[in-house]
Amino acid sequence: MEKGISVGLLGLGTVGSGVIQIIQRHQEELKHQVGCPVSVEKVLVRNLEKKRNVDIDESKLTEHVEEVIANPEIDVVIEVMGGVTEAKEYIISALENKKHVVTANKDLMALYGAELLQVASDNQCDLFYEASVAGGIPIIRSLVEGLSADRITKMMGIVNGTTNFILTKMSKIGSSYDDVLKEAQELGYAEADPTSDVEGLDAARKMAILSTLGFSMNIGLEDVVVRGITTVTEEDLHYCEQLGYTMKLIGLAERTDGRVEVSVQPTLLPNEHPLASVNDEFNAVYVYGEAVGETMFYGPGAGSLPTATSIVSDLVTVMKNKRLGVNGRSVTAPLYEKQLKTDEEIESKYFLRLHVTDKAGTFSAITSIFAEHEVSFEKLLQLPINEEVAEIIIITHRTSKKTYEDIYNGLNNLEVVQSVESSYRVEGGNK
């Protein structure tokens, strides 16, 4: 390939600046990979007068999107502007103009990924989105290529750096949720409005993408059961530590006999589990395959250069496909019809923290609820709060979600139970 590759960029924020830096700094490596120089032709920005933290010729900047997506000189459009409505419109227009597209937009791909991939296929264009999940970790490429010959049975991981930073600080320092959230915002790990992160929505979008690819099944955001970390207390984390567990916001996707469950929720992991030692803003995804067994992918989940590295890697793949004449042929429709597990089919262990009346017969009344549903205890703590109230912490053996919900409701209706203070899923360890 003699002609150079021209790139158009939609957005010049943190990640867009990182993309330009990598293209500029790694020109020799890129030329070796794709067989020709790679250059940025045009960049869409909202304000031409804004000061940039990247060295770029001002003549390459534009406030008119058509100069990027309809530019005959541009081969690949990279979308790093964020948002959904405009980004979707621009990506479809770029694909219809026969531009290959690379995006880091997890929100867009979780909601409209199947539609956009079909548009790409119809126009014989590539649409890649490695950077949409876990930043610099090549998890999507690993599922699509490296593990494509295997049958994935389970994926679980930490796919949101903000919540992992908050839970790490709360666990190790004993700070309150509000204090650590403020620190995360000051350090730039959390947005001014952190709702998407702390309520688990960001992680849910990523798990929808991963489960669709890993299980070859069209999993939508509405199929993900989501719970955030806003109700996690210092007391919960203290008892986790006392019982030998670490709490993480875990994205879980599991397939059993063709039926799947996908969730994001605060989860207790045994301290010896590999994910328990993933701290601060780092991400990690644990993948179970029938042939390969267990593998784990670990690295920075966000940031300018890690995310930009994934984007430029996708760019290299686009150009290799162009050299081979196979652009637009990587999209395959899901192989399996979506089948979600029922609550009777979802099994786990559970952590419960109760405040109860401290009197004779209380413990017997509580254990009778569990005995009625044939669920036993794996671990148990009972501590006095004052002369009248005691705290009971229970970790159950495995049971179905439906049975656990029946137990939970039964405990709430017991006169001796003053309150169910907290309840969390437990993963890992012995069955």
Retrieve residue 164's tokens: 């992992």
Q: In the beta sheet, which residues pair with residue 128? A: 102
Under a CB-based contact definition with an 8 Å cutoff, are residues 239 and 392 in contact? Answer: no
Pairing mode of beta strands 225-226, 259-270: parallel
Distances (CA, A) of 181 to 125, 177, 237, 264: 42, 6, 16, 19
Distance CA 304, CA 15 (A): 5
| Among candidate residues 178, 231, 176, 227, the one with its CA nearest the CA of residue 203 | 227
Per DSSP, what are the bridge partners of residue 43?
9, 61
Q: How many helices (H) and strands (E) does the chain have?
A: 14, 17
Residue 52's φ and ψ, nearest 5 degrees, are: -105, 150
Residue 206 annotated in active site = yes
Active-site option among 206, 322, 341, 401: 206
User: Rounded to whole angstroms, how far apart are CA atoms 248 and 282?
Assistant: 12
CA distance 36 to 23: 13
- Cα–Cα distance for residue pair 276/293, rounded to 1 Å: 19
Contacts of 400 (CB under 8 A, 6+ apart): 343, 344, 345, 346, 347
Q: Both ends of the chain: CA-CA distance in Å?
A: 56
Q: How far apart are CA 328 and CA 322, in angstroms?
A: 9
Instruction: Please tell me the distance from the alpha carbon of residue 195 to that of residue 350, in angstroms, as a whole number.
Output: 26
Catalytic residues: 206
